[in-house]
């Protein structure tokens, strides 16, 4: 096999520096792209089944049918991760992304698109996880800000599909960064309930219970569901319910759950400290529990970046 990083694109493994899609692909023209992502621990892919299952659920809902079966996609991911991991340092890990679009958009393709059916564009690629950008999460905690941009209602687009039509997140982040360049946008729904961030589920902890926004309103996070298992092992309750910024301000702790960094503490919301503004013991217990499962010190992995 090639001695350079590879990408899977439309049925072929090719060198990463040769991978490209057409400028008239629906991913570009319409922003019509479904995606999912896994990461490695010790260069081994984690929770592959759950991510691929979610990806194919998104595909079914969006009526975009990959040529590859679920099993074929899993095998491609495993092969790609194994190959591309050889170019990492021992302390690095890979993120692995799948994305699919309906294919080349005929109206923009001109003569090249005449009399052709749209065939999905399907790509799988990897990248080294940039741990350094999350370093401050583990020293001071994340700061979330609720911008004026609201979460897209499930009546418009069901948030259970993981897609890249994200102009609202771009606008939200631009507004949030006027408050704090390092802050993360936490969008509220139209009723003022906490929803999610662009790349993570938001959770809060109070009186022995972790609160999650209702599943109707958010992407069902693979990392969040894994945290739910860990919480049960720690005798921490878990509920899904609507809650507001008021509740977060008065919580004991809050967290972000996301594939790249697993779980991160949130210590401020809209400039106000959550509890005493310090990283709390429940976060510590959760990340240590996760680390034992994957045989890694997850905090140390990010802090030494």
Render each residue's pLDDT in the chain as its tens digit; 305 residues. Answer: 678 999 999 999 999 999 999 999 999 999 999 999 999 999 999 999 999 999 999 999 999 999 999 999 999 999 999 999 999 999 999 999 999 999 998 777 665 555 567 899 999 999 999 999 999 999 999 999 999 999 999 999 999 999 999 999 999 999 999 999 999 999 999 999 999 999 999 999 999 999 999 999 999 999 999 999 999 999 999 999 999 999 999 999 999 999 999 999 999 999 999 999 999 999 999 999 999 999 999 999 999 98
Going along the chain from its start, the domains and CATH numbers come out as: 6-129 (3.30.470.10), 133-303 (3.20.10.10)
Helix (H, G, I), strand (E, B) or coil at 201: strand
Helix (H, G, I), strand (E, B) or coil at 164: coil
What's the pLDDT at 114?
57
C-alpha distances in angstroms, 259 versus 70, 211, 273? Answer: 20, 19, 25
What's the pLDDT at 150?
98
What's the pLDDT at 2?
72
What's the pLDDT at 33?
97
Helix (H, G, I), strand (E, B) or coil at 34: strand
C-alpha distances in angstroms, 294 versus 43, 234, 289? Answer: 11, 17, 9
Stated pTM of the model: 0.95
Return the structure tokens found at 35.
């995606």
What's the pLDDT at 108?
72
Contacts of 51 (CB under 8 A, 6+ apart): 36, 37, 38, 222, 259
CA 202 to the chain's CA centroid: 12
- Closest CA relative to residue 257, chosen from 31, 35, 39: 39
Q: How many angstroms separate the CA atoms of 51 and 173, rounded?
A: 26
């Amino acid at each position: 096999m090639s001695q350079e990083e590879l990408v899977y694109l439309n049925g072929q493994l090719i060198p990463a520096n040769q991978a490209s899609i057409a400028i008239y692909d629906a991913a570009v023209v319409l922003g019509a792209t479904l995606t999912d992502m896994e990461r490695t621990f010790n260069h081994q892919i984690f929770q592959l089944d759950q991510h691929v299952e979610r990806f194919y659920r998104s595909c079914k809902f969006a009526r975009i049918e990959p040529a590859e079966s679920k099993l074929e996609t899993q095998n491609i991911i495993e092969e790609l991760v194994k190959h591309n991991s050889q170019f990492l340092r021992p302390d690095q890990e890979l993120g692995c992304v799948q994305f699919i679009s309906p294919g080349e958009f005929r109206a923009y393709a001109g003569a090249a698109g005449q009399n052709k059916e749209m065939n999905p564009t399907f790509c799988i690629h990897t990248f080294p996880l940039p741990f350094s950008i999350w370093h401050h999460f583990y020293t001071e905690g994340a700061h979330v800000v609720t911008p004026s941009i609201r979460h897209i209602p499930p009546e418009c687009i069901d948030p259970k599909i993981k897609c890249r039509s994200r102009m609202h997140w771009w606008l939200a982040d631009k507004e949030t960064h006027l408050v704090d360049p390092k802050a993360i946008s936490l969008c509220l729904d139209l009723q003022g309930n906490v929803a999610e961030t662009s790349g993570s589920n938001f959770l809060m902890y109070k009186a022995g219970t972790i609160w999650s926004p209702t599943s109707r309103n958010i992407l069902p996070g693979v990392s969040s569901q894994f945290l739910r298992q860990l919480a049960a092992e720690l005798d921490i309750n878990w509920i899904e319910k609507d809650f507001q910024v008021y509740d977060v301000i008065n919580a004991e702790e809050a967290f972000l759950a996301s594939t790249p960094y697993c779980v991160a503490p949130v210590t401020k919301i809209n400039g106000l400290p959550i509890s005493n503004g310090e990283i709390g013991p429940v976060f510590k217990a959760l990340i240590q529990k996760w680390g034992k499962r994957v045989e890694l010190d997850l905090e140390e992995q990010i802090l030494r970046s």
